[in-house]
Amino acid sequence: MSVPVLTIDGPSGAGKGTVSRAVAKKLGWNYLDSGSIYRSLAIASIKQNADLDSPSEVVKVAESLHLEFECGDELIVKLEGEDITSQLGSEQTGSVASKIAAIPEVRLVLLQKQKDFKQFPGLVADGRDMGTVVFPDAKYKVYLTASAGERAERRYKQLIEKGIDVNLQKIREEIEERDRRDSERETAPLAMAADAFYIDSSDLTLDAVIQEVLNLVR
């Protein structure tokens, strides 16, 4: 019997992480947050002073990337044994991740690390190319999106709640810039798989989205 895979792709800030974690928990399946792998590589590259404009230097860091994931209520990520969870979410990490994710050789090195997550009883995989490149044979595929304005508002609220002083317009510009880079790159761009189920969460509650995804699998 093959391992069932549910892929959830979409742009940043669409709620993929929250939805994927909730669905994985309900189903009792494993969870792959592929963005956290690119984000961890960004952190490792900065720590090792790699030249981010040099594909071969970033590939070298990717080849020796040693990560551990602990999936509890929150995902904990360790790089060479050091807990880097609190650094993963920053705008700088996200933006460097998006930049180095455009390097085809980097994506190739990270491909197997992502495939290894496919284990019984099932896998929920969240990212940009889960349904198109990493798990093209997945049984269930979702493309989850929301308008750029709505995604910027959600991110703004999250940061303000954390006591971080931010500017809504600037966040929106960063989101649009990241969308553009992730969608226009040549290798594995953000795109909806032809056989994916499309959900626009702009006017949906989180619970409604989770329910829609669970209905698809059940």
Told to check if 61 binds ligand DC by CB under 6 A, we report: no
Q: Are 3 and 119 in contact (CB under 8 A)?
A: yes
Name the one range near ligand DC by CB under 6 A: 33-41, 66-74, 199-207, 208-216. 33-41
- Nearest distance from C-beta of residue 89 to ligand DC, angstroms: 8
Residue closer to ligand DC (CB basis): 6 or 28 = 6
Count other Cβ atoms within 10 Å, centred on residue 140. 19
Residue closer to ligand DC (CB basis): 122 or 179 = 179
- Nearest distance from C-beta of residue 42 to ligand DC, angstroms: 8
- Nearest distance from C-beta of residue 218 to ligand DC, angstroms: 25
Count other Cβ atoms within 10 Å, centred on residue 50. 20
- Candidates 128, 141, 151, 154; binder of ligand DC (CB under 6 A) is 128
Q: Are 110 and 62 in contact (CB under 8 A)?
A: yes
Told to check if 101 binds ligand DC by CB under 6 A, we report: yes
**Cα torsion angle, 173, 155, 96, 18, sign:** negative
Q: Which two tokens stand for residue 58?
A: 């970033």
- Nearest distance from C-beta of residue 212 to ligand DC, angstroms: 20
- Candidates 7, 27, 35, 61; binder of ligand DC (CB under 6 A) is 35
Interaction with ligand DC in 4-23: which residues (CB under 6 A)? 12
- Nearest distance from C-beta of residue 204 to ligand DC, angstroms: 19
- Nearest distance from C-beta of residue 34 to ligand DC, angstroms: 4
Interaction with ligand DC in 172-191: which residues (CB under 6 A)? 178, 182
- Candidates 5, 7, 87, 129; binder of ligand DC (CB under 6 A) is 129
- Catalog residues that contact ligand DC under the rule CB under 6 A: 12, 34-35, 38-39, 94, 97-98, 101, 127-129, 178, 182
